[in-house]
Amino acid sequence: MSGSTLPGTGEDEGPERVVLHVDMDCFYASCERLTEPRLHGEPVIVGMGYEEGETIGAVATASYEAREFGVDSAQPISQAVDRLPPVERPDLGTDGDVRGHYRPVDMEFYQSIAAQVKEILHDCADTVREVSIDEAYLDVSDRTSWEELEEPSTASGAADRRTLAEGLGRHIKERIDREVGVPASVGVAPNMATAKVASDHDKPNGLTVVTPGRVAEFLAPLPVEEIHGVGPVRAGELREMGIETAGELAAEDSGRLRDRFGERGWELYARASGDDDRAVTPRGRAKSLSRESSFSEATNDAEAKREKIRHLAAAVADRARSKDVLYRTIGIKAVTTPYEVNTRAESLSGPVDDPELVEEVARSLLEEFEEESVRKLGVRVSKLSFGAAEQASLDGFESAVEAVNATPTAEDEGAKRTDESDGATSTSDERSGQFSLTEFDG
């Protein structure tokens, strides 16, 4: 997808960089809510160590509802769970004596959801720096700008103005919500440090835009600990110096800060002033390329599923060709009701660039789900080779399609994830080669 097709995209590059920081809100808890919709609005803790026989553990994620009871990340799990009100768990045969909604960490499942989010980010930006499973920076300077557009008049008669950069940030947020189903907070700013502060400014599910001329004004009233790079210890040290806010930090003598904190003092001074010239640099290359699309409602219509697979396969193959990438594995994802994530893949004997083969293999893999009620479909290519000088010949790959149609043996059955509360499952099947939604680290 070219940048010009995205909402909030201008043709002229603006005078300032446009950087987005995307931060998934209470990510592990949000993932659990995909398989258990009844957890929406409820206090949820995800962690380790509360299982039978375990005596040591900590909170990995606490939903905002859980935080209202004094629960926070890294808190001892037994203490955290005890702070939550009791809930009924008929699925466990209990009648209210279980404390809170506790779920053990399921990293494989969370990585599969993160991969979907990151595919959207890579689709919407030419440069992406993935910081963690739930956080990334995007440089979208070539996709949009700080140019302002006038929106239609509001009920009061006043016309709203917004930047093209805001439109792109909103588009990315809405795509994540619509296609993946988890909330994200997005900060839009002219540099990385300010974008990070902006994404934290209106959590959860927020969008904060800081235009180039408003950076110092935005940062000035914030407590020093909200400046990127200032932790609790450093904030305490700054307060000992009489510095409470980012504005006061920016007004401080930079030499005094350097004497106290070394080169780090200069860095803090610069960030509080809104100065950050770091470039958004990727961490390695993507291990796969994919496209996914949801139906408006779960469907059993075989022709509708085949048509969607056809479009997705064409989009994935086109993206691979635009990046000069060859691939050795072709696969699909089918999300069946209520939220069972199934993956199927076929590995070839060598790297190829062949849109027709992508569609043919994907449609063959889809046959397994012809009778299933499907909510979402996806097509993925992996085992990538970058910058190939020549395209591989398709000769000899007819056998790949034949292999797809072979009857799987018992050994072909993939690992299954089952959530004990509602029986939702996630299944992965690799008949040959490797394919999974967790194949994403750059």
Active-site positions? Answer: 135
C-alpha 173/C-alpha 7 separation (Å) is 12
Q: Which helix (H) or strand (E) holds 156?
A: none
C-alpha 304/C-alpha 308 separation (Å) is 6
The three-point CA angle 214-258-264 to 5° equals: 70
Q: Work out the number of other CB atoms within 10 angstroms of the CB of residue 178.
A: 10
Helix (H, G, I), strand (E, B) or coil at 71: coil
**235 to each of 218, 229, 244, 284, 429, how far by Cα in Å?**
19, 10, 8, 33, 49
In degrees and rounded to multiples of 5, residue 230 shows phi and psi of -100, 110
Helix (H, G, I), strand (E, B) or coil at 171: helix
Nearest to 401 by CA among 361, 352, 349: 361
In degrees and rounded to multiples of 5, residue 9 shows phi and psi of -115, 130
Residue appearing with tokens 């960089």? 17
What is the rounded end-to-end Cα distance, in angstroms, of the chain? 19
User: Is the distance from CB of 268 to CB of 261 less than 8 angstroms?
Assistant: yes
Q: How far is CA 332 from the centre of its chain?
A: 19
**409 to each of 4, 125, 369, 406, 430, how far by Cα in Å?**
47, 41, 17, 9, 12
What would the two tokens of residue 132 be? 């963690």
Q: Which helix (H) or strand (E) holds 406?
A: none
Helix (H, G, I), strand (E, B) or coil at 98: strand
What would the two tokens of residue 205 be? 């599910």
Is residue 366 exposed (0-12), middle (13-18) or buried (19+ Cβ within 10 Å)?
buried
